[in-house]
Amino acid sequence: MTVLVTGSRGRVGSTLLTLLHDRGVPVRAASAGPAGLVLPAGVAAVRCDLRDPATFPAALDGVDSVFLYAEPSHAEAFAAEARAAGVRHVVLLSSSAVLSPDAEANPIGASHLAAERALAAAAAGGAFDVTFLRPGAFATNALQWAPAITSTGVVDLPHPEAVGDPIHEEDVAEVAYAALTDDRLRGSTLVLTGPEALTFTEQLEVLGRVTGRGITVRPVPPEEWKASVAQYVPAEFADALLDHWSACTTGPVALTRTVEEVTGRPARTFARWAADHADAFTG
């Protein structure tokens, strides 16, 4: 079995690639820009740009299974090329945003939903099996606060009491590894969360304790926050995030035990994630 890992430069993809290699599973690293990838000895890199179907055939040649990021623009073309290459299993990194009642109207949910539907249609036609991973909030989202923490110690938040379920990227990678190597999980849908529900304020308190830094939360109006990130976040995505965070201030977060059920050990806490990434917040 050869596994193609797309997004090998990303935190989940790179962790998964190392897991597969260290455990003796033949793996190929794929990236839109493979030059400069730091890979384990013996692991080949290939260009696979999920927005460029011309890169699909070479990347998929000789591949049995794929770990795929949810890029919807050419998901149908990718599914067709995967079928032509004889791929038997695709594990899609989707999002729990697809479970939202307004998923089709939300740009975050809609993009993941489109990728899911393209692969589900191929699976229904007998092309290959598909396993969907639907994580909630990535703990790595906290890295967006690092510049403010290291420069001023003040973090501007439009909804500081929004509650999330931050999951460590290593837990997502370990579930992906299990999905790729354990036939019992083929074709399943796995909703992943961290082990605890924390507000943004609570996450920053954890970061302060772990790093020894004083961190102040400054509530700001949503429009002020949106303007501050306009250079990096398209307006429609900023609006979707603001709506999501606003909704998360009024209701509980449903946590799952999927990580523990799949891997046999509890999901890593946000404090563990903060310790693992403390260097990013200490300058």
Domain CATH number, residue 44: 3.40.50.720
- The total domain count for the chain is 1
Q: Please report the pLDDT score of residue 283 as a whole number.
A: 75
pLDDT of residue 39: 94
Question: Of 37-41, 73-77, 82-86, 263-267, where does mean pLDDT reach its minimum?
Answer: 37-41
Residue from 63, 77, 83, 188 nearest 127 by CA? 83
Give the pLDDT band of residue 90 (cuts 50, 70, 90): very high
CA atoms of 39 and 54, how far apart (whole Å): 24
Average pLDDT over residues 223-241: 95
State yes or no: pLDDT of 114 exceeds 80.
Answer: yes
The answer to whether residue 95 sits within a structural domain is yes
pTM of the model: 0.96
| Continuous H helices in 70-106 | 75-85
Report d(CA 166, CA 203) in Å as an integer.
9
Assigned domain for 172 exists: no
Domain presence at residue 183: no
- Is 102 within the bounds of a domain? yes
At 193 the pLDDT is: 98
User: Nearest 5°: phi and psi at 251?
Assistant: -140, 160
Q: Evaluate whether residue 160 is within a structural domain.
A: no
Q: What is the mean pLDDT of residues 229-244?
A: 94
Q: What percent of the chain has pLDDT over 90?
A: 95
Query: Cα 151 vs. chain centroid, distance in angstroms?
Result: 27
Q: What is the pLDDT at residue 253? A: 86
Residue 278 covered by a domain: no
Look at residue 256 and tell me if it is in a domain: no
CA 28 to chain centre: 19
Domain for residue 215, yes or no?
Answer: no
In the block, tokens 């965070």 appear at 245
Residue 1 has pLDDT above 90, yes or no: no
Domain region containing 108: 3-135
Share of the chain above pLDDT 70, in %: 100
